Each structure stands twice: as C-alpha cells, then as structure tokens.
Structure 1
C-alpha cells in the first residue's frame, strides 16, 4: 500500500503495462503480415486479369470462333510467366457462344488465378 508521499509506479504496474504494450505490438505485427500477404495475392490477380484481357482482345480481333477444345499458351508479364488457355462453349442461342479464359502461374493448370467467361456473336 502506498503512502501519500510516495510517487511513481510499482513494479507490478510496470509489468502489467509492458504486457499490455506487448500484446498490442503483436496484434499490429500480425495485421501487418496479413496485409502484406493480401497485397501480394491482389497483385497476382491483377496481373493475371491483364493477361486474360489480352487474350480476350486477341480472340476478338481474330474474328474466328475459338475451338471447343482448350487452346493454350504462355505470356510474360510483371517479371512472371503466365499460362493461359481458352475455349468456346455452345449456348442455347445459336447466334451466341461463350468463351472461357483461364490464367495461372502453374503450367499444369491445377488451379486458376483468374477465370473469365464472356459471350460473343
């Protein structure tokens, strides 16, 4: 117990303050790590989306309906190699067809970073 003439903090109060401060610092470090991982994934998806847009533009400019079988290739963008593939799909309307485009950084296409479907005449 303190007397009225004592000033300052007890050792227990200092330890409690340090524990609270340490918990706060750990929460900030964890949140920062999650944000960095999220930014990396977002960067990857943006680049893959650009590759998909490029392939869609080339398909559109080609003026020929793509095959229903996967056509694939690769492209370099953002210091990475991207693998893309696309195919056409029949729709219920004979004047329209769908085009699926998949982009990934995995040449085996085990998972797609971006998948796009569009309809064309």
Structure 2
C-alpha cells in the first residue's frame, strides 16, 4: 500500500501564502491610513489651540494697553514658536458708545509661501473705552 499524499503534505501551498499576504497588506494599509488620520487631527487641534492662545494674548494686550480700535487692523507676531497673522475688526454697539465688539482672527503663516493660511480661530471680545 502507498501512503496517502494528502495526509503526508505539511505546510501551506503557495496560493494560501499569497492570500494570507494579501490580507495582511490590506490590513496594514488600513492601519497606516488610520494612523495618518490621527496624526493630522492632532496637528489640527494643536494649531487651533495655539492660535486661540495667540488671540487671547491679543485681547489681553488690547485691555492692558487700553487700545481703542476703530475699523480694522492687521499685523504679524511670533508666538508659541510659530508665526501668526492677527486680524482685528471693531464693531460699534448701537446701545452704548463706550463698548466695542472686537473680532480677533488668527491664521498661521505658512513658512513655504510666507503668507497666512486658513483662519485657525476667531475670538470675540468686548472692550470698554479707556476712561479719560
């Protein structure tokens, strides 16, 4: 009697190995994409958070220096290890002339183009006129 070949076979066929590698490759690509998504989300959150700090610093500076903004203004600053463009715009309040609504927009400056990117945060504050 001859031994049964099917029982004597050990290991995997080439086709089985190729299918297993294909499944692993698809899973690895999916995990890589998920990881990149996470990294991009964290980077965006960090930019928005730092931009909000810059906007809060600008509001504090306006309060401390008792700046009374008419219309709009724009300037660049370097804070938090990045360069930012700050755009401020004042809106009078109809019911009282001594208070202004000030909108502070902060956008990171893109190093490659040296131009501001998309607005990362908008902060609205109310400033009382300096007493004098």
Q: State the structure with more CA Rg.
A: 2
Unaligned regions of 5+ residues in structure 1, if any? none
Using CA pairs below 8 Å that are at least 6 residues apart, which structure has the higher relative contact order?
A: 2
Among 2, 11, 14, the alignment partner of 1:8 is 11
Given the alignment of the two structures, is residue 114 of structure 1 paired with residue 121 of structure 2, yes or no? yes
Q: How does 1:78-93 map to 2 (within 5 A)?
A: 78-93=80-95
1:102 to 96, 102, 105: 105
Bigger strand share: 2
- How large is the Cα RMSD of the aligned pairs? 2.4
Distance change >3 Å, CA 76–CA 14, structure 1 → 2 = same
Map 1:6-85 → 2, pairs under 5 A:
6-67=9-70, 69-85=71-87
> Within 2, Cα distance between the matches of 1:12 and 1:108?
54
The count of corresponding residues between Structure 1 and Structure 2 is 119
Encode CA deviations 1:3-49: one digit per residue, 9 max, x unaligned. 23433222211111110000011111112222222222222212211
Describe the superposition over 1:43-63 as per-residue Cα deviations: whole angstroms up to 9, x where unpaired: 221221111010011112233
Output the CA distance in 2 between the equivalents of 1:45 and 1:92. Answer: 32
Q: Which runs of 5+ in 2 are unaligned?
A: none
Cα distance in 2 for partners of 1:111, 1:11 equals 52
